Chains A and B, each alone.
Chain A
Amino acid sequence: MNGEIRMVSASGILGYGFPEASLAAALKTRPHMIGVDGGSSDPGPHYLGSGKTLNSPLQMKRDLRLLLRGAMELNIPMMIGTCGGAGGEPHLQACAEIVREIAAEEGMHFKLALIHAEQHKDFLKRAIRDDAIHPLGKTAPLTEDTVDRASRIVGMMGPEPHLEALRNGAQVILAGRGTDPAPWVALATHHGLPPAPAWYAGKLLECACNAALPKKHDCLIATVGADYVEVEPANPELSCTPLSVSVQALHESASPIIRHEPGGTLDTSACVMQPVSERRVRISGMQWTPAPYTIKLEAAECAGYSAITFAGTRDPGLIGQLDSFIAAVIESSHTKIATLGIPRDRYRIVIRLYGKNGVMGDWEPLHETRSHEIGILAEVVGDTQEIANAALALMRVTLLHSDFPGRLCREGNMAFPFSPSDIERGAVYQFSMHHVIRTDDPLSMFPIEYQTI
């Protein structure tokens, strides 16, 4: 080893796909590992709450098969962070099942590490009593009730559990929820590189060719040295430029220069970017400042059961008095729902008006509605699906048939595009924790299980 290591990220998220030729080109550079981030909280709380994977098994299997073949051919580690989208136990097991299937189909043998990220409620309640959990932003302190209500709770692991699995000889590492750069930081650390370039490389790699132009789901190669990182897309049609790499720092982060991670902060304010070629950029000057070790907690709880209906109105008279019409419909719906014996505190009505403020709600700066038609998405979230369905059905009838001043469209106020018009959405979830837990041991919350495949 000449003090440099090369790491590959196949794509932005496991299952999003990448060109096979790009992976082949990346493997020709003899990388020390290949990996891909498997998760994101971006698609909302449904996946963490329900245990379902973000991408389908077919999508994940396609990507995993190519990555496993590459790792076996070069005898290098293959590492996946935040498996299955949300990184809970069902998400991790879904990925492990696919990996075992592929290994059986292809006659592969390796040591597999599964790193678990789900957290026990009793452990967290003890941590609350020990004053080890602290809120982020304006969030209130964590309560034991919030812990009890959660459908699923994960901790976002740092690189240490991946590093432990590498040191124990695992070649394929599948991890639950973690900070996105974790697999690459671990590999670089395993080869003796310091945290600043390791974290910088990890942050670029987790979104793969988001740091390239044109942005694509494609493979990115990072070469990491003691005080620099060089990045280059595997696909010759793509380029990394100082600007494209800088722009990546803006992506989905609160600050482009300060990034808080377990155990420290990455500061890129003094970074220098130099083009090495038309497609390759060298970055130096990143800094890592150690901080007390904390793990971010993520949880989803069931918010109720939802039913929705969608309709449109093309009546100018109604559109001209939309706000008072909707207010009257909601009030009338409440009255009718009460006759079913459903108390007001057991359901919530949400109306989204497309053509008025359906996208921005109260943040919409334009108050005058100029559309000639308005789309109405009516939702009821109830304590049970039965309540949601019944309340929504009454709401739908009330939208369709309520009178309003000057009404000419006396056979119906709404155009419903579907029969049946009401759609059950089942359980709906909400993110319920925005907290960190202080710990002295980066490993203890993330048990590692080894399997010989």
Chain B
Amino acid sequence: MVKLKDIAKACKSKNAGPFELTLDVMFDNPETFDKVRRCGVITRERIAALYGVSPSDVLLTEYPPALAYKATLPRRIVSGAIGDTDIYGAQQHAPLLDLELPL
């Protein structure tokens, strides 16, 4: 088992507009990306579970040109609304870091 944070080149979050959050995971090389794809751990069900949302709320896209995965989900609180903690959505990636992959 390895953790995602030990093999990813980038693992980040950001707003995709004020109502959605988008998570990007990128890898250094096609070999690692292919291994991760083959192990099948990164699914929309898994992302949904990490963030406590319904799988139907997660749009997951594999994006080979950038050796990347992108997941987009509704923000917990709309950017800047009362109670928001992260206007830019730039620090919501941590639950992904410890994701364990059987590589």
Contacts and interface: CB of A to CB of B under 8 A. Distances in A.
A256 B52 contact: no
B45 interface: no
Contact of B19 (A44, A359, A431): A431
Most buried by A among B15, B18, B88: B18
Interface stretch (A115-123, A198-206, A245-253, A328-336): A245-253
Contacts of A431: 18-19, 78-81
Contacts, number: 124
B91 A434 contact: no
Contacts of B15: 41-42, 252
Given A42-B15, A254-B16, 6 more contacts: A246-B65, A246-B68, A252-B15, A255-B59, A256-B68, A381-B82
Contact of B76 (A242, A250, A257, A362): A362
Given A256-B63, A362-B76, A352 B82 contact: no
B12 to A, nearest CB: 9
Contacts of A138: 57, 74
Given A249-B63, A365-B50, A365-B95, A430 B68 contact: no
Interface of B: 14-20, 22, 24, 26, 50-52, 57, 59, 61, 63, 65-68, 70, 72, 74, 76-88, 91-92, 94-95
Contacts of B84: 44
Interface in A324-351: 348, 350
A273 interface: yes
Contacts of B14: 251-252
B80 A254 contact: no
A153 B56 CA distance: 30
A44 B18 contact: yes
Interface in A364-416: 365, 381
A136 B74 CA distance: 11
A58 interface: no
B79 A41 contact: yes
Interface residues of A, number: 43
A420 interface: no
A137 B22 CA distance: 14
Interface of A: 41-46, 136-139, 242-243, 246-247, 249-257, 271, 273, 303-304, 348, 350, 352, 358-363, 365, 381, 428-431, 434
A254 B79 CA distance: 15
A429 B22 CA distance: 23
A350 B66 CA distance: 40
A361 B82 CA distance: 13
8 contacts: A44-B80, A46-B80, A249-B63, A255-B61, A358-B85, A359-B86, A363-B76, A434-B18
Contact of A252 (B22, B66, B91, B92): B22
Contacts of A381: 82
B87 A257 contact: no
A139 B84 CA distance: 18
B68 A45 contact: no
A256 B79 contact: no
A256 B23 CA distance: 12
A358 B84 CA distance: 10
A304 B18 CA distance: 19
B79 A363 contact: no
Contacts of A271: 65
A252 B89 CA distance: 10
B26 A247 contact: yes
Given A303-B81, A429-B80, A434 B63 contact: no
